[in-house]
Amino acid sequence: MLRDAVRALAEAKIAPYAAAVDEEARFPQEALDALTANDLHAVHVPEEYGGAGADALATVIVIEEVARVCASSSLIPAVNKLGSLPVILSGSEALKKKYMTPLAKGDGMFSYCLSEPDAGSDAAGMKTRAVRDGDAYVLNGVKRWITNAGESEFYTVMAVTDPTKRSKGISAFVVEKSDEGVSFGAPEKKLGIKGSPTREVYLDNVRIPADRMIGEEGTGFATAMKTLDHTRITIAAQALGIAQGALDYAKGYVQERKQFGKPIADFQGVQFMLADMAMKIEAARQLTYAAAAKSERGDADLTFQGAAAKCFASDVAMEVTTDAVQLLGGYGYTRDYPVERMMRDAKITQIYEGTNQVQRIVMARNLP
């Protein structure tokens, strides 16, 4: 029922704008409005804060179905979870009430600020500082590659509170867009997901109350890593949706396109490509859904399974979208058809929330 409802909404209210959102590199406001109106913009927020209280699998299905028609729009529910999960996992009850309630209502999105210009895969090498000053902290630094930056009202920011302790000297904070000293860089000009703004976040003597720290001082990096164990699965879901959208489109096309007097779907070479695409998507789906169930239960092997789902599903998405472009021939290479956009959008799923090389390191260190 959930899948049918989200698919119907996505096809009616999000798909019609997907090409224009990509072409104009603009935020998919129509998608945000439709998702918020149907309480699908942040389904993971627990019911006690006014949220839908969706479990990890339901969240995955929402993201998958939105990504099937528009990858940029799927980053609304995905990044709302990424940005707010540190608060849910480690925040005080007062902090949860303060920030989960407006998120659930649709009064503001949540972004996640971990990466920096010189700290990508090596996130523990960050330089953003948070210095205690009475009952406040003062933050200074630059965060890079921040999804939905400038659009979101709330930001989970990782900053160094004790430079002598490397990862154990990092703390997490909630910063608001309206805080004095917060500003944003120009949107990055990207290969794909052009409808989701990616910008730098500048923190210039941003003074915030000490009670906006998420968890204890020095626990920010651990919270960040724990968050990614859960949210990598949402990227797997996004990749899965992109791949499914590409297969669905290619399948329809090959049945209509005639060459040598018959539909190209009748040729064995084409059939084998479609069979491989469908088989790999199904394998990715099973891995992703199983990881979502583990996320919900908090299983001991979640770190391995989350990394495996993200890595496998994103590799599949890149392969399937590339094959979809091939199946459409010259038409696939034009912007008149959606598969070239899907191919461009798929690429980022192999890079963000930990590159697939990093995922393999994570898996190797957490072999079941």
pTM comes to: 0.98
| For residues 196-220, average pLDDT | 98
pLDDT per residue as tens digits for the range 157-198: 999 999 999 999 999 999 999 999 999 999 999 999 999 999
Instruction: Please give the share of the chain, as a percent, with pLDDT higher than 90.
Output: 100
What's the whole-number mean pLDDT along residues 338-364?
98
**Whether 54 contacts 61, CB under 8 Å:** no
Whether the per-residue pLDDT at 368 is higher than 90: the answer is no
The residue count for the chain: 368
What average pLDDT does this structure show over 32-54? 98
- CA 359, 309, 276, 78 dihedral sign is negative
- Tens of pLDDT, residue by residue over 304-343, are 999 999 999 999 999 999 999 999 999 999 999 999 999 9
pLDDT in tens, 15-40: 999 999 999 999 999 999 999 999 99
Helix axis angle, 220-256 to 339-348, nearest 10°: 160
Alpha-carbon distance of 117 to 95, in angstroms, equals 29
- List, for residues 97-115, the tens digit of each pLDDT value: 999 999 999 999 999 999 9
pLDDT at site 115: 98
Q: Enumerate the active-site residues.
A: 353
- The Cα–Cα gap between 197 and 27 comes to 7
**What CA–CA distance (Å, rounded) separates 67 from 10?**
9
- Residue 230 confidence class, pLDDT cut points 50, 70, 90: very high
pLDDT band for position 44 (cuts 50, 70, 90):
very high
Which tokens belong to 228? 């990614």
